[in-house]
Amino acid sequence: MQENAQSSRRDGLLPLEQRFTYRFALVASRMGTALAPSHERYGLSVGTWRVLAVIARYEPLSAKELAQRTSTDPFRVTRALTMLAEKGLVSRQADPKDRRRVSLRLTRAGRGVHDEIAATLSEMERSVLVALSAREQAMLHRLLDKLDVRIAACLQEQSWSVQGPPR
């Protein structure tokens, strides 16, 4: 293990443990694991919970807006919406101003499920964030905002290219 970390540094690559994407993924995964019983109680996955939470925050919104706000491809959003509608948690209604557009809203049951899971998540986040001072928490939010803006700019500029493995 030590040898791999040293060879990564020689190659100019960051060791895995120093990659912010890896660290963020670990933190998110651990929080997701802790929250899983709340999701499972209602037959939700992390992805369907995210869809439910975004609808709760921004309703009414279209499926296209939902896909953008969740950074999820439209196919997965449609699948999640179908499942949430079948469970009676989300309603789809034609927009009176534009009949081609469907407005998404939580049902009363959807609001109840959202509020219960959101309360659990808030409590979990509070118990984790006590490790940071109020100033550190504010800084964390500012830094995340800066990274989010930069990532969006890189994606917009299409300045990232994906190359296959070296030959």
Task: Report the alpha-carbon distance of residue 38 to residue 117 in Å, rounded.
Answer: 6
Average pLDDT over residues 97-107: 87
DSSP 17: G
Q: What is the DSSP string of 87-149?
A: TTSEEEEEETTEEEEEEEEE-HHHHHHHHHHHHHHHHHHHHHHTTS-HHHHHHHHHHHHHHHH
Domains and CATH numbers, the chain: 14-156 (1.10.10.10)
Residue 48: its pLDDT value, please? 93
Residue 164: its pLDDT value, please? 42
pLDDT at 99 over 90: no
Instruction: Name the helix (H) or strand (E) containing 19.
Output: none
Is there a contact between 124 and 35 (Cβ–Cβ < 8 Å)?
Answer: yes
Task: Report the alpha-carbon distance of residue 20 to residue 45 in Å, rounded.
Answer: 25
What pLDDT, in 10s, does the model give residues 48-82?
999 999 999 999 999 999 999 998 888 999 999 99
Backbone angles phi, psi at 100, to 5 degrees: -80, -20
Q: How confident is the model at residue 10 (pLDDT cuts 50, 70, 90)?
A: low
pLDDT at 90 over 80: yes
